[in-house]
Amino acid sequence: MTLAEQLIAVALVGLLAAAGLWNGSQTLARQRLEAATVALGLGLERARSAAERTGQPCQLVLGPQGWQAPVAGGCGEGAGPLLDGGDGAGLNLSHNLPGPLTFTANGLVLGGGTVVLGMEGTALRRCLVVSLPLGITRVGRQEASGCQADDAL
């Protein structure tokens, strides 16, 4: 094999490796975003279940890292970070939820709104809509026209 052939082979291997790293980082960012979206919905369902099981209303507040229980009347079971490790690195979170979401003893939600999640490394933005008064949640993709429900749901 000549020097020119070796240089071409090394260049091709380098290009393929760079393409693999680029796609791999996008895939990882997208998976982290999906995991955070699932954790967001799971926190809501755990809080609702805790209120129904105990027969007492409780509350959750959505902070920059995830669900948090207020000092008094909190749904501790629903609280937790949206990403493993609890640091939320790269996670972009915005919402129009009221201060705390209140879950009544029969599972209704007092307060609702939309949560939009994004992750550094991917253009995809996910959204979760909490509808009043039943607290029905819908997960979708955030687009210019609003939260578009996933087709698979």
- Residue 5: exposure state from Cβ atoms within 10 A (0-12, 13-18, ≥19): exposed
pLDDT score, position 19: 61
pTM, full prediction: 0.78
Tell me which residues of the chain have a pLDDT lower than 50.
152-153
DSSP letter at 50?
H
Task: Residue 68: give the domain boundaries.
Answer: 3-149
pLDDT score, position 118: 93
Question: What CATH number does the domain containing 49 carry?
Answer: 3.55.40
Helix (H, G, I), strand (E, B) or coil at 107: coil
Question: What tokens does 54 get?
Answer: 């105990």
Contacts of 115 (CB under 8 A, 6+ apart): 40, 62, 93, 94, 95, 97, 127, 128, 129, 130
Task: Report the domain count for the chain.
Answer: 1
What digits encode the pLDDT tens for the residues 109-146? 888 899 999 999 899 999 999 887 777 888 899 988 88
Alpha carbon 72 to chain centroid, angstroms:
26
- Residue 55: exposure state from Cβ atoms within 10 A (0-12, 13-18, ≥19): exposed
